[in-house]
Amino acid sequence: MPEGPEIRIAADKIAKIIENQVIEDIDVGLPRLSAAALSLKGNVVTKVETRGKAMLIHFANGLTIYSHNQLYGVWRTCKRGNLPQTKRSLRLALHTSTHSALLYSASDIAVYERADLINHPFLQKIGPDILQKDIDWQTIALRLKAKRFCKRRLSILYLDQAFIAGIGNYLRTEILFAAGVHPDLKPKELSQEQIETLSKQTLIISKRAYSTKGYTLPDELRKQLKETKGSYESVRFMAFNREGLPCRECVSNIAKGLRNGRRIYWCEICQAVLN
């Protein structure tokens, strides 16, 4: 599933071609969207934003397209009339006079009055977006210590969009590794110093993944490894999908497990349960 950084990157690309532009034509692959498409055609897009893993495309007439990629959805952009060759099912296409924004394979798509978004079942439950401009590490630290979250294992908490929106499976592994905390620990079991480190790394790793288009390695290491011919994961991550490979910090092997039904990776030395 695309995580917050990937959705924000897609939103940036889409915004470049449709913000402040008239949507001249709309194609829909889901019949239930047909009526709404008529209300959007001929209107100007005022803003493209993300909230966690959801994307919102706002129109001047007060309507908003809500979409969530879930596991298989993917956005593409192209010059109008030059559609990509793909076997994916086209769900939504927004066409300006020169370009097209295309959503494939997703099914969680709907059109809302902007005022009604506050009642959306997903949006009303999510926590602060990890990529919002005004979020700071102190906000994350307070949430880690809150009664609502402090007794839950970090491996589960860091997939809960109500805690922080936009963090998913690979970011969970990479954040906990960078902070040096074991996935099975709970916030209440961490020292104040560990809480601060984890909060800061939550921001650092998420913003790094956004700015580098999916890489979580420190800049210098990322530049070094990009010159190699290693696998995608070997030049992208510190721990995720590196089971049995040497830890980049201590050379002990990276371990793998399942938490909340999703694979997770950690170093049993750098992330020992008892710190």
Assign residue 180 a region (left: φ > 0; alpha: ψ between -120 and 50; beta: otherwise): left
Both structure tokens of 59: 């129109």
Query: Catalytic residue among 218, 262, 263, 268, which?
Result: 262
Distances (CA, A) of 61 to 43, 64, 112, 132: 7, 9, 11, 25
Is 233 among the residues known to form the active site? no
Is 2 among the residues known to form the active site? yes
Query: Catalytic residue among 3, 8, 172, 248, which?
Result: 3
Cα 156 from Cα 116, distance rounded (Å): 30
Q: 220: which residues sit within 8 A by CB, 6+ positions away?
A: none
Assign residue 246 a region (left: φ > 0; alpha: ψ between -120 and 50; beta: otherwise): beta
Task: Show the DSSP H helices in the chain as ranges.
Answer: 4-18, 34-40, 137-145, 154-157, 169-179, 192-211, 219-225
Q: Which of 130, 84, 118, 133 is nearest to 104 (CA)?
A: 84
Query: Catalytic residue among 2, 5, 183, 187, which?
Result: 2
Query: Catalytic residue among 53, 91, 172, 236, which?
Result: 53
Both structure tokens of 31: 């019949």
Q: 140: which residues sit within 8 A by CB, 6+ positions away?
A: 164, 198, 199, 202, 203
Is 242 among the residues known to form the active site? no
Could you list the active site residues? 2-3, 53, 262
